[in-house]
Amino acid sequence: MAITLKSIGHFFAKVYTAVVDELPKVEATANTVETVTAAVPVYGPLALTIEKAGYAALGELSAALNAGGAAVAAKLADAGLDINVIQTVQAIVDSVPTIAAVAKTL
């Protein structure tokens, strides 16, 4: 089975959706995952930084959408953020109201 990703934003939206379903397991293995990512020769430290930045951005995006709803979504779309990413994150925020706080801790 191949997974097609349209952009880095689409990638994080897919990961974010998967994380919601498996959140307790992900939280329990966070240190192991970060250790493995950091251990990848040459690119590991860079990947770890990108990984943390991606999740931090999703946490901030979730918090903004949680606080501002449709108005924030419209402004993000006007700023050029992929509408599919906005809609995916908004759906998660709507279904799991505490996800913004959880995502900020990842």
pLDDT in tens, 45-55: 888 787 777 77
Decide if 67 is inside a domain: yes
Decide if 1 is inside a domain: no
Whether pLDDT at 39 is above 80: yes
Decide if 3 is inside a domain: no
Name the one residue in this structure whose structure tokens are 């498996």.
Answer: 22
Decide if 59 is inside a domain: yes
Q: Rounded to the nearest 5 degrees, what angle is found at the Cα of 97, between the Cα atoms of 93 and 103?
A: 70
Tallying the residues shown for the chain, one arrives at 106
Q: Which residues form the domain of 72?
A: 8-105
Please give the structure tokens belonging to residue 49: 């930084």
**Structural domain count of the chain:** 1
Angle of the 83-95 helix axis to the 8-21 helix axis, nearest 10: 10
Segment 71-87, tens digit of pLDDT: 888 888 888 888 888 88
